[in-house]
């Protein structure tokens, strides 16, 4: 009991404001002592199991929260409800057959998942990617970032109680990008587009012009979205100072992506690793000051603006040429013996794949470093001391997709 009450969020030294457990007889419902010896969540505070079917948890995710009145005292994220053996399946199938499964990790951003996996296998097998394919990959990855950030902002506002409007505006814009994905890859979300050493097919005629039109129209949407939301008093009251993460905490928990940069840490894999051809583009990495939910929201908007700059440069410079390395082959693909870690800056953070090849058609070990899962580990530190309603928007601002968390 004291272990829980020593927490800074609880009144220090004061008597708990709830009915104390009775020594004998029938315990009072909801304040029943549930102390456990094994150190798990156990207290005489109210323990609530939020999820796994709670709409605010963005999927089948459960938060075991211990509440002191309305305030979160302790929180345990519980995941694994969507576990589907992704890594083990990948070790049992060919390298190519894992490509469509990577679509289903973070199902909002299948293009970047494809790229991270293809990049790793290319390093493992020593394949070179032709110029045009590199440009196409950048274009598709940045479009993915745009639509991911738009829908994240929409969902975040939905969690705050803005019923529908911002989400619908975001989805209307997302729809245009999804249509582009459909026209190039054949599927709206499960694109399965990248291949080892390039891309599956070239862009159809008129696609690049259509993409340029969508990109040129996007700033107008962002302006509208920002007018609608940025200075809104309710949003500021709900998000500013909520769920603060300091730079030390963020690096200590190995956070990556917009959530790390919202805490003011200048770390973007596109700048650090310069994978692909990102060294050719001029763009800035926006940084936050406070590391609160408002900064995390703003980070998405500002990153979208930078993505548009990258897209405009890429769409201007894209050369003609082949789309795939002639050395790569679909059937009977066997990379040499070795191991490799490849990573990219996915919209949610650093997405890495770790592969060990034993020279056969299947990877010996296949491991995913999912940004959603690792960003989620700090949830307790962010939520403690805030109300339940705030913990919902804090979770929303982390931007998780359960397909990636559980794999």
Partner 1 sequence: MLGEAIIKGMAVTAKNFAGSYVSKDRLPTIQYPEERQVLSEAVRNFPFLVYDGDDWEKGLRCVSCQICEKECPPKCIYIVKSKDKKPDYLGKPQLYPAIFDIDLSVCMSCGICAEVCPFEAIMMDQDFELSNADRFGGLLVNKEQLARSHDHHMRIRPSEAGPIEERRAAAQAKAKAAAEAKAKAAAGKPADGGD
Min dist CB 224 to partner 1, Å, is 6
Min dist CB 30 to partner 1, Å, is 38
Cis geometry, peptide bond prior to residue 313 (ω within 30 degrees of 0): no
Tell me: does residue 224 bind partner 1 (CB under 8 A): yes
- Report how far residue 396's alpha carbon sits from residue 167's, in angstroms, rounded to the nearest whole number: 13
- Report how far residue 214's alpha carbon sits from residue 202's, in angstroms, rounded to the nearest whole number: 19
Both tokens assigned to 3: 């272990």
Pairing of strands 349-357, 363-369: antiparallel
Question: CB–CB of 173/232 below 8 Å?
Answer: no
Helix (H) or strand (E) holding 365: strand 363-369
DSSP H helical ranges for 344-384: 371-376, 379-383
Question: CB–CB of 154/167 below 8 Å?
Answer: yes
Min dist CB 107 to partner 1, Å, is 12
Task: Spell out, one character per residue from 74 to 103, where the chain touches partner 1: x when CB under 8 A holds, - when not.
Answer: -------------------xx-xxxxxx-x
> With respect to partner 1, which residue has the nearer C-beta, 84 or 327?
84
> With respect to partner 1, which residue has the nearer C-beta, 88 or 172?
172
Binding test (CB under 8 A) with partner 1, winner from 48, 178, 228, 277: 228
Place of tokens 């979208």: 304
> With respect to partner 1, which residue has the nearer C-beta, 194 or 384?
194
Binding test (CB under 8 A) with partner 1, winner from 21, 34, 54, 232: 232
The footprint of partner 1 on residues 139-168 (CB under 8 A) is: 165
The footprint of partner 1 on residues 283-342 (CB under 8 A) is: 330-331
> With respect to partner 1, which residue has the nearer C-beta, 232 or 246?
232
Q: In angstroms, how far is CA 98 from the centroid of its own chain?
A: 20
The footprint of partner 1 on residues 172-191 (CB under 8 A) is: 172, 175, 179, 182-187, 190
In 33-149, DSSP assigns E strands to 46-50, 62-68, 71-78
User: What is the contact surface with partner 1 in residues (CB under 8 A)?
Assistant: 93-94, 96-101, 103, 165, 169, 172, 175, 179, 182-187, 190, 192, 200-201, 204, 224, 227-234, 330-331
């Amino acid at each position: 009991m004291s272990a829980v009450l020593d927490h800074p969020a609880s009144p220090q030294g004061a008597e708990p404001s709830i009915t104390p457990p009775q020594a004998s007889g029938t315990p009072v419902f909801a304040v029943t002592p549930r102390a456990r010896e094994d150190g798990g969540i156990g207290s005489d505070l109210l323990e609530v199991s939020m999820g796994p079917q709670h709409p605010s948890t963005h999927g089948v995710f459960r938060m075991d929260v211990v509440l002191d009145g309305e305030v979160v005292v302790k929180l345990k994220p519980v995941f694994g409800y969507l576990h589907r053996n992704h890594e083990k399946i990948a070790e049992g199938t060919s390298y190519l057959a894992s490509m469509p499964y990577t679509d289903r990790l973070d199902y909002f951003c299948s293009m970047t998942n494809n790229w991270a996996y293809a990049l790793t296998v290319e390093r493992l097998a020593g394949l070179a990617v032709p110029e045009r394919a590199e440009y196409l990959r950048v274009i598709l990855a940045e479009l993915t970032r745009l639509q991911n950030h738009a829908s994240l902002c929409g969902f975040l506002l939905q969690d705050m109680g803005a019923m529908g409007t911002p989400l619908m505006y975001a989805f209307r814009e997302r729809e245009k990008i999804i249509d582009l994905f459909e026209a190039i890859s054949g599927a709206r979300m499960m694109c399965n587009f990248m291949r080892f050493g390039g891309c599956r097919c070239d862009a159809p005629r008129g696609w690049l012009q259509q993409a340029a039109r969508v990109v040129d129209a996007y700033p107008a949407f962002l302006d509208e979205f920002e007018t609608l939301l940025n200075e809104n008093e309710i949003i500021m009251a709900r998000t500013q100072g909520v769920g603060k993460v300091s730079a030390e905490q963020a690096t200590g928990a190995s956070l990556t992506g917009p959530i790390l940069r919202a805490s003011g840490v200048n770390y973007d894999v596109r700048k650090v690793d310069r994978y692909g051809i990102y060294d050719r583009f001029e763009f800035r990495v926006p940084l936050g000051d406070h590391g609160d939910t408002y900064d995390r929201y703003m980070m998405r908007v500002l990153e979208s603006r930078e993505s548009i700059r990258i897209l405009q440069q890429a769409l201007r410079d894209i050369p003609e040429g082949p789309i795939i390395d002639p050395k790569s082959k679909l059937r009977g693909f066997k990379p040499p013996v070795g191991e490799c870690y490849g990573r990219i800056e996915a919209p949610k953070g650093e997405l890495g794949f770790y592969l060990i090849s034993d020279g056969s058609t299947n990877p010996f070990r296949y491991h995913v470093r999912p940004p959603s899962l690792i960003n989620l580990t700090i949830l307790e530190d962010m939520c403690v001391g805030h109300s339940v309603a705030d913990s919902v928007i804090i979770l929303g601002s982390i931007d998780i997709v359960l397909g990636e968390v559980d794999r």
